[in-house]
Structure 1
Amino acid sequence: MVLSLGLWVIRDARARGSKQPYTWALVSVFTPVGLPYYLYKRYRNAGLKKRETTTRLDRVLATWASASFGAFLLAAILTPPGPFSQIRVMLIVFLPGMYLLVYRRKYRMLQQSIQI
């Protein structure tokens, strides 16, 4: 989770013209408010430009990072402690869902249906 999330933040911040993509990655991975703050800045385009293109590797990293982060949160709350329960939750629940939402870009369709 840490590796995929850090790599995604580095690649995303670099593609958006940030001068400190490694700092964003470290803050996003190792502080509890870093990732929400980065996503907020990214959403508001405050200091970060719009991204021109998204490569296949970027979508794979975003899919894996979001699936592992969601599985970590859900497994921490609902399953007994242990790495195997977290892996099962990620592979069974979150990875197929994040594949559809992130990799196949269905989040745009979901976003449009919520705004209507």
Structure 2
Amino acid sequence: MNVNQTLFSVTTQLAELTSIVPSQENRDEIIEKIFSLLDERDELLPSVQPPKDEGERQLINKIVDLNDQINRSMNIILSDIKKDLSGLKDQKKVHNQYINPYKSLNNLSAFFDKKE
């Protein structure tokens, strides 16, 4: 198996893995698998050879198409993570306001009403 076919195999695995929308419970496991496949693919990319015939050219085109699909899926996963992080920040803010409700009050105007 040459480098281009190995790269296609790894890219296909990565595309299948990123097409699954992870739940919060198994998201860490899936992200670790994605990182390991990305590392493996990163090692293969410098040794990619230019296509010699039409079959390899089609294989490279499939890899490029899969890469676009992977990028879209990774952006969806990233937006889900950002949404969860903003939700956690909001929960933390509400929790802190519940624990100490007077912390956010502004006491600067307490002594402005003095007699002249």
Q: TM-score range by the shorter chain?
A: 0.3 to 0.5
Q: Larger Cα Rg: Structure 1 or Structure 2?
A: 2
